[in-house]
Structure formats: C-alpha cells, structure tokens
Structure 1
Amino acid sequence: MFKRILTLSAFCVVFAATLGVSQSSAQELKIGYVEPQAILAKMPEMKAVQQRLQNFAERKQKELAQKEQEFNAEITNFEQRSAVISEDAKQKEQERLGQLNAELQQYRTQLQQEMQQKQQELVGPLLDQIGTAIDQVANDMNLTYVLNTTTSNGDAIILYASDEAQEKYDITDQVMQQLGI
C-alpha cells in the first residue's frame, strides 16, 4: 500500500508539474503507457525461464523436506529418550533442538531469498530487453513519458482509459512488435 501511495504521489507530482508548463510546451507533452508483465508473459523465452524456476524450486523444496525430516527424527528420538534421561540432559537436548529449529527457520528464509535471486537472475535480462524496446518505441513515437500500467505488487496505476485513449497511448503492442512477439 505504501508503494502504491508513493507511486501515485509521484504520478501526481509529474501531472502537477505538467500543468505548470506553459500552454505551448504542454501541447508537446506526449505520454504513453505499457504493460510490461503482459509482454513478459508472452515472450517465448519465458516458458524456459518458468521451467528453470520450477526445477530450481523443486530441488530446493526437496532439500528443505530432507532437513525437516531429519529435524522431526531428532524430536521423535528425544521424545522416546526423555523418560530415561536426566533433567540436565533433557535441558541440553532441548537447547540443541531449539538451535536446530532456529537453523531450519534460517534455512527456510535463505531458500526464499535464493528463489527471489534466481528469479531476478533469469527474468532480469528479459526485463532489460523489454526496457530497451520501450525506449525505442518511445523515441520512435516521440513520447515524453511512458508509464507502467501496474505497480510491482500488481496494483493498477491507470484505472481507466477510454477506447480512444487506449488506442492512442497504450504502446504495449508496439513494444511486443519491437521484440518480435
């Protein structure tokens, strides 16, 4: 929500700044908008990226499942022995299990970070291609600004555009043509 407010605030600042521009300059201001996520989804390379991400996630999920299974075996072992070991040994074993649990939680966090990093590694070059194509189309169409239709969270920035405005200002199709999609 905070990002959306910032994004909308930034849009309002840009919009307010354009209102302050003299009438002759304002007529030269041209704004387009694009849906990078829609373009990304239609890129042929995206299927391979999704497959690689799925394979990576499955491999990491198996590693996590193995660690969880080992941890559960340790707990079961402790529960079976707890009736016959001393209080001091129980306390030490509980501390050790607590440490193992903390390590397991840390491993889960690390896996999430690795997934995000892998996604950035694989999708980043595609987003760079999209950015280059947007720049080219914007230059060709002599646009002053190009807006993204959504935030990174998927919240809409452009809530409504008439059919005429979509035809005139939505450059998504031109960017896909530039990319050969």
Structure 2
Amino acid sequence: MKPSSDKKHVWDKVNNWEEELLFLKSIIDKTELTETIKWGGPIYVYNKKNVIGIGGFKNYFAIWFLNGVFLKDEKKRLINAQENKTKSMRQWRFTSKEEVNEKEVLEYIYEAIENEKQGKIIQPSKKETIISELLEEEMVLNPALKQAFQKFTRYKQYEFLEYIESAKQEKTKISRIEKVIPMILSNVGLNDKYR
C-alpha cells in the first residue's frame, strides 16, 4: 500500500470524481500554469497569481476561474455560484467526463491566463463614509469623546458608525450610542474582544 503522501491532493469532498478530476488535471498540465495546494485543494497559478482551481462536489465536479468575471464566456458555460456575494469567481460545472470538451476548456484557461498577464482584477470596493448626526451632537457636548474617537483608526471609527447607523429606529440608535460612549472613552474598539 502506498503512503498517503503519494496521493495527489484532489479537491474532492465525496471521492466519486477522482477519474474526472485527473482528466481535468491532464488538460491543465498542457498550459503554463503551476499546480499548488491552497485551501486543501489544487489551485493553478501563473506568476504566483491564482488563476483556476478544480474540485468535486456532491452532484458535480468543476473548474473555477478565480477572475472568471473577465472571461468573454461566449459559450455561456460559467455560473456565479453565489450571486451578490462572489464578484469575480466563476464556475464551470460538469456531471460527467463526456461533458468536458478539452478544446473549449483550454480556450477558457488560455483566456484566463491572458487576463492575468494583463493584470485584470476587481479592486475591492471602497466603503462609503457613514455620518452619525446623533454621535456628532454627543461629541459637540463632550469634547473628550470627540478626542477619544479621533484616536481610533478609520476602520474602527467606521465600525462604530456602522453599528449606530444600521439601527432603523432613532431610539435604538440612541441606546447604541449610550453603549459605545464608555467604550470610546476607554479606547476600546467595538470588535476588539473578537480580534
């Protein structure tokens, strides 16, 4: 029996797609991508940038293109596995080896590599500034509170403001302000205890 370290990682949660995933690997091996193991499965990189990954799930096996949003996808093969959450990753699912058209798969992979060479990526969206008029009023009345608040990083300030302003009712906003004032004055960030 071979030692388990001999067995190549195949991102396969249910072990019924091994042959299919090895077939996908044989196609990917024809490209200039390098196989690495990330997040417990094979990810293929170009110039240290993640381009594609492969894996098996309960009802399908798939290639995911980490920046698939930039692919033309003229043949309409790609899906967004998590609409409204996943901005750039796209998945191409298969339910049998026969569905894998090597020429098509290579076209998509080569396009993904080309996009990587051109540096196409989605920049993380900047968080919009949040203004809390109620907190501003408190700071006018209490200059020490304003000074303490300004000592926090922008990120921690944002967390306080988002916490206050995400309340729908004014009375909830007021009770949240009352809760955070001692924290601000003690230089304790809203989520410090979780960090």
Higher relative contact order (CA 8 A, sep 6+): 1
Q: Which has the higher strand share?
A: 2
Bigger radius of gyration among the two: 1
Provide the TM-score with structure 1 as the length reference: 0.25
